[in-house]
Amino acid sequence: MVLPKKKKAHTGHEPVGYLFIAPFYLFFLVIILLPIVIAIFNSFTNYDLYRSSDFIGLSNYKTLLKDPLFKKALVNTLVYSVLYIIPSMTLGLLLALLVSGESRRYQVFRTGFYMPYIISMVCASTIWLWMFDPAAGFFNQILTSMGLEASTWLKNPALAMPCVVIVSLWKNLGYCMLINLSGIKGIPAYLYEAAEIDGADAFQKFRSITLPMLQPTTFFLFITTCISSFNVFEQVNVLTGGGPMNKTTTIVHQIYIRGFTEFKMGYASTISVVLMFIVSIITIINFRFGNQGQDTDMG
Partner 1 sequence: MKKTCKLVTVLLTVFMLLSLLSGCGSKASPTDTPQESSLTEDTASTDSLEGTGLSDEPVTLSFIRAGTDGLAEAAYAELIAAYTAEHPNVTIEYQQFNFGSELETKLNTLYASGSAPDIVRAPISTIAQRASLGQYAPLDDYINSWEEKDNIIQTAYDVASYKDHCYGIAINIEASFLYYRKDHFIEAGLDPDKPPTTWEELYEYAEKLTVHEGNSVVRAGFSIPVAWGHTVFIPFARQNGATLVDVENNIPVFNDGATAEALNYLASYSANNLLIPYTINQDQNPFELGKASMMLGSLSNYKTIIASGVDWADQLMFAPLVSGRETESCFGGCQIMFMSEESKHKDWAWDFMQYLFTNESVWKLVTDAGATPVKNDLSGQFIEAYPNIGPAYLEALSYCEGMPKVKWSALFEKYLNMAYEEAMYGTKDAQTALNDAMELLESELGE
Can you give the binding site for partner 1, defined by CB under 8 A?
A: 10, 13, 15, 18-19, 22, 25-26, 29-30, 34, 49-52, 59, 63, 68, 129, 133-136, 144, 149-150, 152, 155, 157, 237, 241, 243-246, 256-257, 260-263
Which C-beta is closer to partner 1: that of 13 or that of 104?
A: 13
Q: How far apart are CA 250 and CA 160, in angstroms?
A: 13
Closest separation in Å from C-beta 127 to partner 1: 14
Q: Please write down the HEC assignment for all residues of 59-114.
A: HHHHHHHHCHHHHHHHHHHHHHHHHHHHHHHHHHHHHHHHCCCCCHHHHHHHHHHH
Closest separation in Å from C-beta 251 to partner 1: 16
Helix axes 34-42, 265-289, angle to 10 degrees: 120
Which C-beta is closer to partner 1: that of 22 or that of 65?
A: 22
Closest separation in Å from C-beta 9 to partner 1: 12
Closest separation in Å from C-beta 118 to partner 1: 25
Phi/psi for 255 (5° steps) reads -60, -45
Which C-beta is closer to partner 1: that of 26 or that of 123?
A: 26
Which C-beta is closer to partner 1: that of 13 or that of 288?
A: 13
Closest separation in Å from C-beta 75 to partner 1: 16
Closest separation in Å from C-beta 264 to partner 1: 9
Closest separation in Å from C-beta 194 to partner 1: 52
Closest separation in Å from C-beta 35 to partner 1: 10
Phi/psi for 173 (5° steps) reads -60, -40
Which C-beta is closer to partner 1: that of 65 or that of 86?
A: 65
> Residue 50: CB partners within 8 Å, gap ≥ 6?
263
Which C-beta is closer to partner 1: that of 72 or that of 171?
A: 72
Which C-beta is closer to partner 1: that of 29 or that of 211?
A: 29
> Residue 262: CB partners within 8 Å, gap ≥ 6?
none
Which C-beta is closer to partner 1: that of 25 or that of 287?
A: 25
Closest by CA to 109, choosing from 98, 120, 123, is 98
